[in-house]
Structure 1
Amino acid sequence: MCGAAGSGKSTYAHRLGEAGYTVLSFDIEAWRRGFRTHPVPVEGRREVHETLQRRLLEAVDDGRPVVVDTSFWSRASRDEYRELLASRGVVPVVHYMATPRHAILESLARRRTAGPDDIAVPVEQALSYMDGLQVPTAEEGPLRVIGEA
């Protein structure tokens, strides 16, 4: 999954989970570790990604379909996971949530930090996330665009 906070990544990932995918969620893992605000501190992000990567390889080795639910805001972060999966002969498909800005801001305005998929994100932070997102392109590899920008 790739997209800004509030773009619908978790909802989409949970639908894939209902279809049999193993869902690995950055926000759920961060919540388990006690992080209730964004951005998660650097060391916390590192630990969460290490856990997700370990579980991703376990799922792939077991032959299970898997979705990683995190923003993948930079091409470098997507490439890191691509390289990890290349060691197993797997080429991932990026599912990019092309959600309009107004819909993202409306979604985030309803959040109350009641759980890992409901972390409140201040407007300024949300705008920074949206503006900093490096939108994936087909040049990177397989890409599925969900919605329209």
Structure 2
Amino acid sequence: MIGRRLPRLILLCGLPGSGKTTLAKRLASEVPALRLCPDEWMAELGVDLFDEQFRDRLERVFRKHALDLLRIGQSVILEFGFWSRAERDEMRVAGRALGVSVELHYLAVPFDELVRRVDARHSEGMVGTVPITRELMTEYQRLFQAPGQDEVDLFDYSQP
């Protein structure tokens, strides 16, 4: 590809309030890349952000769409949170099978700051936000599998 950059698959990993959307918007402009954010689509469609079955179906569609876009040379940012290593591995392997660069951007933020941020964005009335209690964030933190260095080393680029 003379004069063109190879497409990039960028995975944003982190809990609510970690800054995924802020980073995704900046990267979408800089790369440039198409940004796929389930929360925004669900809010726009009027779907409850806690509807896990719908979210799972939407993320499956986004994964397929992302791979189709990568095949035609379009860089893509998946703003899913990627809470499990299995999810991250699946997309890394799929991207590599297409011959594209796969990046992991893990946004590690202290727990109390996450809680402060989700409280602030909800109280400010940001579109597409829902109240997330400290108790729910505690449960999310318990479910979240942070990437270790062994995993980070598998990506073409990763943001600490």
TM-score, structure 1 as length reference: 0.84
Deviations 1:21-70 (A, max 9, x none): 111112123224433333x32x2122111221122012201212211101
Other-structure match for 1:128: 139
Task: Choose from 113, 137, 148 the match for 1:137.
Answer: 148
Counterpart amino acid of 1:35? V
| Mean Cα deviation higher: 16-25 or 137-146 | 137-146
**Superposed displacement of residue 91, structure 1:** 4.5
Following TM superposition, the consecutive aligned residue runs of length 4 or more in structure 1 with deviations greater than 4 angstroms are none
Which of 1 and 2 has greater Rg?
2
The number of aligned residues is: 143
**Structure 1: 5+ residue runs without aligned partners?**
none
Task: Give the structure 2 partner of residue 10 of structure 1.
Answer: 21
Judge conservation of contact 1:98–1:145 (CA < 8 Å) in 2: no
Q: Deviations over 1:56-115 (max 9, x none)?
A: 012201212211101101111112222332331235111000112121111011133642
What secondary structure sits across from 2:106 in the alignment? Answer: strand
Q: 1:124: Cα distance to partner?
A: 1.0
Partner in structure 2 of residue 54 of structure 1: 64
Partner residue in 2 for 1:103: 113
1:44 to 23, 41, 54: 54
In structure 2, relative to structure 1, the CA distance for the partners of 1:134 and 1:71 (3 Å cut) is: same
Which residue pairs with 2:91 in the alignment?
Answer: 81
How far, CA to CA, are the matches of 1:62 and 1:134 in structure 2? Answer: 32
Task: Please say if residues 39 and 49 of structure 2, whose CA atoms lie closer than 8 Å, have aligned partners that are also in contact.
Answer: no
Asked if structure 2 preserves the Cα contact closer than 8 Å seen for 1:36 and 1:119, the reply is: no
CA 1:15–1:119 in structure 2 vs 1: closer, same or farther (change >3 Å)? farther
Cα RMSD, aligned residues only? 1.9
Quick check: 1:96–1:144 contact (8 Å CA) kept in 2?
yes
Q: Which has the higher strand share?
A: 2
Could you tell me the percent identity over the aligned residues? Answer: 27
User: What is the alpha-carbon distance in structure 1 between the residues aligned to residue 72 and residue 40 of structure 2?
Assistant: 22
In 2, are the aligned partners of 1:37 and 1:121 still within 8 Å (CA)? no
Distance change (3 Å), C-alpha of 1:11 and 1:102: same
Query: Cα gap change, 1:72/1:65 in structure 2, threshold over 3 Å: closer, same or farther?
Result: same
